[in-house]
Amino acid sequence: MKHSIKYLLCAGMWSFLALPALADGDGKDMFNPITTGVTTLNIAPDARGGSMGDLGAATDPDVNSQYWNPSKYAFAFSSAGVSVSYTPWLRKLVNDINLAYVAGYWKFGGNDLQALSASLRYFSLGSVPTYDNSGTLQNTVNPYEMALDLGYSRKLSSSFSMGVVFRFIYSDMGFGGLSSAEDMSGAAAFAADISGYQTVYPIIGRSECQFSWGFNISNIGSKVSYDGGTNSSFLPTNLRLGFSFLFPIYDYNTLSINFDANKLLVPAAPRQSDYTYTDSDGYEQYDTEAYNQAKEDFNNTGSISGIFKSFSDAPGGFKEELREIYFSTGLEYSYNRRFFVRAGYYYENKYKGNRQYATFGAGFSLNVFSLDAAYVLATAQSSPLDQTMRFTLSFDMDGIKDLMGRRRR
């Protein structure tokens, strides 16, 4: 059973994650999630963002801003940092799927107006045995997806910054080791992100608060193909827009309220059920010719034109376009920027994937390092995301430098 699950993940991971929505028999014809290649690029890698409903477009900068909004690095408190994150993925179903993520940044230039950043993500599907048609074990494959990033961000004013990221992506789902897919191989792609971030400090009553907003358009790039270009898939190009409001509640205590909205900038694939007509005898028939033409047009759509098309191509019109927006909201309590408690909620429409879950987490920070943990509690029935854990260990280079300086003295 576990091996069958992995084959299903290799063939279409996001479709598998959306399976709970299919239980709604009345909505089968309305179930129409957006499908992409390299779906793991949109999995939140770190524990802080993961504990607040998977958000981070406008939260305070941290080492893992590369994924959420790289332009935040220009406002980072420390001059440099590095972090390591680990997520055992779908642990309720299998025990060797995981996401590893390493990120870091370095601020430079006069007044630290600029920052360079980099990250590496590696999603492993563990070991999958392969068999021939007679059921004889052939070999074992190790499917994986990875992405290597390099980013640059800069303050354009005292309150606003922008950033860009260039990304190399490689997806090897192990098809080459499957007897039924000998002509398929790994897929490579290039992509870029563009982001912006602004933070201001309004005075409300007698307290100085912090209001921030940010955006990140990620994975703008080429399409991916596992069969030499005969069939290709869109990257999960995503528009993220977020807001954050932080205010003091007593002396060293602060609370932030955060919100992110996301939309995949990927056109919807045509469905055969949308191409029907009623014949002369009153029976409903499929218009195969129109459906095949729609599939050909979809496959020939470029990645950039697909971004613009994604705002107006839903079969259900504007109402269905709104369903494609998914939301995250989260709270973060901080005591003296040393101890943190977090909670959040993630919502995706049941006809677009049905990922709905509450998240919780905590963390503590010292001068040299910080440790964060997050936990997912799914609210959608039979969700494979239930009980997912994330862990992040971060190091502050300024703190390490100060510690080494004190030791020399």
In a domain, 373, yes or no: yes
In a domain, 304, yes or no: no
Domain encompassing residue 363: 2-268+310-408
In a domain, 275, yes or no: no
> What is the structure's pLDDT at 18?
45
> What is the structure's pLDDT at 27?
52
Residue 361's DSSP bridge partners are 342, 374
> What is the structure's pLDDT at 183?
56
| CA distances for 351 relative to 19, 21, 138, 329, 355, angstroms | 11, 7, 39, 20, 10
Q: What is the CATH number of the domain that holds 401?
A: 2.40.160.40
- pLDDT tens digits, 94-153: 788 899 999 999 999 877 899 999 999 999 988 877 776 777 777 777 889 999 999 999
In a domain, 281, yes or no: no
What total of structural domains would you count in the chain? 1
Token couple for 112: 């630290």
How do the pLDDT tens digits run along the chain, 409 residues long?
A: 444 445 445 444 544 444 444 444 445 567 888 989 899 999 999 999 999 999 999 999 999 999 999 999 999 999 999 999 999 988 777 788 899 999 999 999 877 899 999 999 999 988 877 776 777 777 777 889 999 999 999 999 999 999 999 999 999 876 554 444 455 667 899 999 999 999 999 999 889 999 999 999 999 999 988 877 677 889 999 999 999 999 999 889 999 999 999 999 999 888 877 777 777 777 777 778 888 888 888 888 899 999 999 998 888 888 889 999 999 999 999 999 899 999 999 999 989 988 899 999 999 998 899 999 999 998 876 677 778 899 999 999 988 887 776 666 5
Distance between CA atoms of residues 71 and 160, nearest Å? 9
Q: How would you class 9 by CB atoms within 10 Å of its CB: exposed for 0-12, middle for 13-18, buried for 19 or more?
A: buried
- In a 13 Å sphere around the CA of 54, the CA atoms on its Cβ side amount to 22
Residue 237 CB neighbours (<10 A) = 24
> What is the structure's pLDDT at 251?
85
In a domain, 293, yes or no: no
In a domain, 331, yes or no: yes
> What is the structure's pLDDT at 5?
45
In a domain, 302, yes or no: no
Tell me which DSSP letter residue 233 carries.
B
Q: How would you class 175 by CB atoms within 10 Å of its CB: exposed for 0-12, middle for 13-18, buried for 19 or more?
A: buried
How remote is the C-alpha of 384 from its chain's centroid? 17
In a domain, 62, yes or no: yes
Distance between CA atoms of residues 319 and 370, nearest Å? 43
